[in-house]
Amino acid sequence: MQISSRSFLTALLVLLSLFSFSQTKVAIIGGGIAGVSGAHFILEADPNAQIILFEKDEKLGGNAQTVSVKNKAGELVNVDIGPQYFIEGPWDDYIAFLTKTLGPNPYQSETLNASLLIQREKEQKPVLVSPLGMKLRGEKLGKLLKLKRFNKEAYKMYKKPEQWKGISVETWVKQLQFDESYKKEIIYPFMAASLGTTISEIKTTSAVDVVKLFAFRKPKATNKFKVMTDGMGTLIQRVGEKMDPNRIAITCSSPVTKVVRSKEKWLVTYSNNGKEQTELVDFVVFATHADQAAKILKSETSLSESLNCLKKCTYFEARIALHTDSTFVNNEKPAFLNIITNTSNELVSSTMNLSMISPRLNGIYKSWASPEAIERLKKDGKLLHVTSFWHSLVTTDFVLQLEILHKQIAEVPSLYLSGGWSEGLETQNSAVISGKHAAEKYRAFLANRK
């Protein structure tokens, strides 16, 4: 009996399939830099993986949100309302990722010369103002020298963090050799503004983690940062556009509502165009905040201990407004970061004068502000854009819960919790590092399957 060439080919394909490994299906929940970088690194580890990336918003970016607003000249310009500036060294993983995915010179940037002003509301004379360039501006030299000494103390901790593990900011600041008025008027407001939170909350944070925000440079190093002209959010979207749609399916406006075990796999339930849909996958990466991961996994009883840890990871709300109100800054003594406090040295507002970055951003201010201040800006017609972000408050207990959580999740071969927060301090760079760690967990998962 003769066999047709078509039948022979079909039989051959069936035979080959019996000896090939089945394609692994991966769900990544969250389309910020952690989720996007995780997808990239997992595909490096396994080119045959089939990835579905779920993003609840209309576009990729997560906390890195780039918006277009009008400057003083009426021109539309891109502004990051989320994370904005970076520097080589502490952000090398992030920069390398952009270069790897977008090619050489993946972005245009502008240089920012850091400058600081702290002032009480309704007063004209600053409590402290840093030099502009190399020029002093009437500030008492003693206060500036103390700030430099404070930076040296922070740098010591940054270089040898193991000595300060489990120590809160308040405990650390108490032992610093500064008078109490200087701590209350300058140190605490400066640290709170760096994180975008309140004085009371900054005191509870892990000192080791918070000083990473400003102590990554030697005290004598230049105070120059970089800002991406097109925006960090825009670059994440470009990375997504470059990804192979045959290997990575990106589904925006698709919030995941539930993830539960289904025998050896995971059943992912999500909403798309108002309809509930499901996907059965082999491996899941949560590139979301801890509180969101807890909500999505709440029905999975086998992870009850991990859920308890996730729920203990505290968060704070940061309301960020882009506006045109120059009363948030001192126009006579311009500075990039303008911290306004009340008579009790509590933070009233923290404003970045974006004109100090580039002429294209002239007349635009970016403020951490109260709901009342935002309403006033809206009423006065000076509000350009407002967004509320939820950030992890990295307290000493948060760090402890994170250590416990990592150990617990290590026992679950097909699940990983990523995101900048999962590395401690949340930045775009730590989010990329978490993406690498997700790929490492995935490699181990593949090795065990074989």
Contact in structure between 148 and 219 (CB atoms under 8 Å): yes
Specify the pLDDT at position 222: 65
Distance from C-alpha of 136 to C-alpha of 99, rounded to nearest angstrom: 39
Q: What is the mean pLDDT of residues 231-256?
A: 97
Q: Check pLDDT > 80 for residue 144.
A: yes
Contact in structure between 315 and 393 (CB atoms under 8 Å): yes
Domain total of the chain? 2
Asked if residue 112 and residue 71 are part of one domain, the reply reads yes
Which residue, 84, 67, 112, is CA-closest to 356?
Answer: 112
Alpha helices in 231-382 (DSSP H): 232-242, 290-296, 304-311, 371-379
Q: Which of 350, 366, 392 is where one domain is finished?
A: 392
Specify the pLDDT at position 124: 87
SS3 of residue 258 by DSSP: strand
Asked if residue 237 and residue 225 are part of one domain, the reply reads no
Kindly state the tokens that stand for 181. 């008025």
Q: Which of 392, 410, 432 is where one domain is finished?
A: 392
CA angle at residue 173 from 165 to 214, to 5 degrees? 75
Host domain of residue 242: 5-63+233-310+396-449
Asked if residue 340 and residue 216 are part of one domain, the reply reads yes
Q: Which of 352, 374, 392 is where one domain is finished?
A: 392
Specify the pLDDT at position 140: 77
What CATH number does the domain containing 296 carry?
3.50.50.60
Q: Check pLDDT > 80 for residue 3.
A: no
Specify the pLDDT at position 7: 55
Asked if residue 104 and residue 87 are part of one domain, the reply reads yes
Task: Assign 384 a pLDDT band (cuts: 50, 70, 90).
Answer: very high
Q: Check pLDDT > 50 for residue 1.
A: no
Asked if residue 143 and residue 278 are part of one domain, the reply reads no
Asked if residue 152 and residue 77 are part of one domain, the reply reads yes
Asked if residue 423 and residue 289 are part of one domain, the reply reads yes
β partners of residue 281: 266
Q: What is the mean pLDDT of residues 138-164?
A: 89
The string of pLDDT tens digits covering residues 173-205 is 999 999 999 999 999 999 999 899 999 999 999
Distance from C-alpha of 442 to C-alpha of 41, rounded to nearest angstrom: 10
Kindly state the tokens that stand for 126. 């600053």
Specify the pLDDT at position 223: 64
Task: Assign 85 a pLDDT band (cuts: 50, 70, 90).
Answer: confident
Least confident window among 54-58, 132-136, 336-340:
132-136
Asked if residue 74 and residue 147 are part of one domain, the reply reads yes
Distance from C-alpha of 44 to C-alpha of 282, rounded to nearest angstrom: 17
Asked if residue 152 and residue 99 are part of one domain, the reply reads yes
DSSP 61: B
The string of pLDDT tens digits covering residues 288-337 is 999 999 999 999 999 999 999 999 999 999 999 999 999 999 999 999 99
Specify the pLDDT at position 113: 84
Distance from C-alpha of 385 to C-alpha of 376, rounded to nearest angstrom: 13
Asked if residue 212 and residue 329 are part of one domain, the reply reads yes
Contact in structure between 61 and 389 (CB atoms under 8 Å): no
Specify the pLDDT at position 190: 95
What CATH number does the domain containing 186 carry?
3.90.660
| pTM, to two decimals | 0.91
Q: What is the mean pLDDT of residues 17-27?
A: 69
Asked if residue 189 and residue 55 are part of one domain, the reply reads no
Q: Which residues contact 100 (CB under 8 A, 6 or more apart)?
A: 40
Residues in the chain: 450
The string of pLDDT tens digits covering residues 261-295 is 999 999 999 999 889 999 999 999 999 999 999 99
Q: What is the mean pLDDT of residues 370-377?
A: 96
Which residue, 354, 329, 331, is CA-closest to 339?
Answer: 329
Asked if residue 335 and residue 246 are part of one domain, the reply reads no
Kindly state the tokens that stand for 54. 């779920």
